[in-house]
Amino acid sequence: MKKILLAIILMLLPGFAFAQSAVRCPNPSKRQGSVNHIFFSFKDKSANLGSYLPKNLALVEEQYLKNGPRCLTKQTYNAFLSKLDALKKDNNQSLLISSSWRSPKTQMYFAKNRSEFAASPGRSEHQLGTTVDLDFLGSKEEDLFGDSVAYKWMQENAHKYGFVQSFDAEGEKLTGIPNEPWHWRFVGETIATKVKTEKLNLNQYLFDRKEAKKKGVKL
C-alpha cells in the first residue's frame, strides 16, 4: 500500500526526478471486476471505470519521459517502443510521454487544473493504461505537438502500431472534446487501421462494436 501511495504522489509532481528501482506500478485487487481496457468505450455517458485499475502495468523508462514516473500496460508500452523505433528510422525524431496511466485521484487533480481537456475520474482514457499524451524532444508545451514533424508522422503511421488519436477536429462535434494532437490511445493494429482508413470516431466505433457483438454481428 505504501508503494502504491508513493507512486501516485510522485505522478502528481511533473518535475520529480526518480530512481527507476524505487518506484513500482500498482497492481489491481483480485476482487476487482473485469473491464476490457483495450476496447472500452466512453461514448455512453453512463460509462464509468470507477476505481478500475488495469493489470500488467509497467514502469516507463526515464529516457522516454518528459516528466514522471509513468506507467502503461506492457502491451501498450511495447507498441510505443516499436513505434518510436520506426519514427527514429524514418525521420530521426523522438517522442516523450508527458502523461500515461492515471489513478482516479490523479485524474481528479488534472480535472481541477486542466478542466478544458481533462475528463472527470472514471471517464478518462488515461485510467485504462493504454493512453499516452506525447510531446517531442525539446518542447516545453505539449500544445505545440500538433505542428511537429513527429505528429505528421503519427497521423500517417501510428495505426500500424495500434495507436489512434482519440480526439481530433473532425470528431469534436460528436465528442464535444477539442482537438488533442498529443493524445493517443492503443487499441491494436486491426482496429486502429480500420478507424484510420474508414475515418471513424474511435469511441463511437467501439460502442457500435460492443452493441453489434451483443447481437452476434461482426463490424
Show pLDDT as tens, one digit a residue, over the chain (219 residues): 434 443 444 444 443 334 445 688 998 887 777 788 899 999 888 899 988 999 899 999 999 999 889 999 999 999 999 999 999 999 999 999 999 999 989 888 878 876 666 788 889 999 999 999 999 876 666 678 889 999 999 999 999 999 999 998 887 777 778 889 999 999 999 999 999 999 999 999 999 998 898 888 887
User: Could you tell me which residues come within 8 angstroms of residue 92 by beta carbon, excluding any fewer than 6 positions away?
Assistant: none
Secondary structure letter of residue 167 according to DSSP: S
- Alpha-carbon torsion, ordered 9, 11, 16, 19, to 10 deg: 90
29 residue type, one letter: S
pLDDT in tens, 131-171: 999 998 766 666 788 899 999 999 999 999 999 999 988 87
pLDDT at 134: 94
Instruction: Give the cell for residue 83.
Output: 513505434
The secondary structure element, H or E, covering residue 151 is helix 149-157
In sequence order, the β-bridge partners of residue 184 are: 132, 165
70: nearest Cα among 97, 42, 52:
97
pLDDT at 125: 94
pLDDT at 11: 47
Cell 518506484 found at: 23
For 4-17, the three-class secondary structure string (H helix, E strand, C coil) is HHHHHHHHCCCCCC
Instruction: Give the cell for residue 45.
Output: 455517458
- Alpha-carbon torsion, ordered 178, 98, 188, 207, to 10 deg: -30
pTM for this one?
0.84
Cell 508513493 found at: 6
